[in-house]
Structure 1
């Protein structure tokens, strides 16, 4: 693979934040948005396994056991659990996490049945690869896992590649989650010291953000975020950008406070 990174192995993980626009009138994550996140994770997990095109055929046994509230971090984890000739099943879990307390609770679990289609499948003999005996199982949450997102047309510029503003938003979100998980305080972005883009990310590719703590000051924390692109058909990944973001811990009056 091009630019392979060990953090990209294992179950597919998607992290997001419940903003008001994602919530219902109860102040919790809208169920349809949660299902859309789960389906997206299932699609990526299926595509990473087969490296062909997939569509969702059905979903089953989806139960919502607890809500995710506005401001929560939501982590979705998907793993392939069954593989047939032209279809497979992905189990997806959704977990909510309080950014300040770190308390986590299980919100939902479901099975998504995905069917392979298109020329890429025929080129592989019309049969999906079998499920590995040593496949990764759902493991404990990592502090700063690599997270994924798909580039859909509404996120692209008129050139057909990921719009720079959306790339910066994804990197900023990753920096916020990493800083919140590190200090468990309210953090805001104070600035960005440098962001460089090396390669376009095309429509249909997967965007991967990989954050890590660079340095810690008295009231601030520096987070580096790498931006990778993944071609699901070719099983290739490339480094497309990197940036350093400065996050500051604040009190209820938005005044900087010490870690």
Structure 2
């Protein structure tokens, strides 16, 4: 696990490629069993917003989106990954390209569903005529951490309590989802949560914060996978990145009858 619990970031520095990962459930699909196009576009816009906010550390709004053609569907049970990367930065606007990829976790196949470009406009609080966004830093955008799974999202008001802090249950749901994706990618079998160790939340996460889950495979058994998950939080327009919680999740591979199945060598 990462040792430092607080990291300072400068505007223009992106700590890792920004990817939002979700699972296609029946309520997200049309009568054909495929993801609604509008739902996919909404998540593409969300990751474009996260990429822009991480780069400029100021509020952004979406100005436009180029034509988006859906080349392949995302079906129930698929994992959909939305990866955004900055392509061009002007004084107060930037162009973010977003890929939407549907992944069949058990088959190990990936299909590019669509690609789009979003123009995001900065709305700085200080109306300084000389203000401009920082230039692109290609080296920073290529940072990786080995085989760790990384996924980002934003905390919305319906995920918070009356004091504006994220519900612990919602944070746990994000951490469990990261463990599920990491374990299923490793086993190529459907996995279920068997247990999780005690999780202490060291810092509150406020509405509007960016959260990032970092999941790593720590150990495998005959049918189980032990996944270590870190939950980081970032102020939307701040420079501090804080390790909020970490936990260990035991995921078990199961067959169609929900019985454990061996996937790893003894």
TM-score (norm 2): 0.89
SS in 2 for 1:211: strand
- Alignment of 1:98 with 2:101, yes or no, is no
Q: Is the 8 A contact 2:15 2:140 kept in 1?
A: no
From 111, 130, 135, the counterpart of 1:130: 135
Partner residue, 1:225: 229
Q: Is the 8 A contact 2:22 2:81 kept in 1?
A: yes
Query: Deviation of residue 80 (structure 1)?
Result: 0.8
Query: Deviation of residue 125 (structure 1)?
Result: 4.0
Query: Deviation of residue 135 (structure 1)?
Result: 6.2
Q: Is the 8 A contact 1:174 1:211 kept in 2?
A: yes
Deviations 1:164-203 (A, max 9, x none): 1100100010000000011101111112122221110011
Q: Is the 8 A contact 1:213 1:224 kept in 2?
A: yes
Moved more, 75-84 or 124-133: 124-133
Query: Deviation of residue 143 (structure 1)?
Result: 4.8
Q: Is the 8 A contact 1:80 1:90 kept in 2?
A: yes
Alignment of 1:165-244 (within 5 A): 165-244=169-248
Query: Deviation of residue 243 (structure 1)?
Result: 1.1
Partner residue, 2:42: 36
SS in 1 for 2:198: strand
- CA–CA distance in 2 between the matches of 1:87 and 1:185? 43
From 165, 168, 173, the counterpart of 1:161: 165
Partner residue, 1:117: 123
Runs of 5+ in structure 2 lacking a partner? Answer: 9-13
TM-score (norm 1): 0.92
Query: Deviation of residue 3 (structure 1)?
Result: 2.7
Moved more, 145-154 or 228-237: 228-237
Q: Is the 8 A contact 1:205 1:230 kept in 2?
A: yes
From 60, 84, 94, the counterpart of 1:54: 60
SS in 1 for 2:258: coil
State the Cα RMSD in Å.
2.4
Moved more, 189-198 or 123-132: 123-132
Q: Which segments of structure 1 move beyond 6 Å, counting only runs of 4 or more?
A: none
Change in CA separation of 1:58 and 1:147 when aligned onto 2, cut-off 3 Å: same
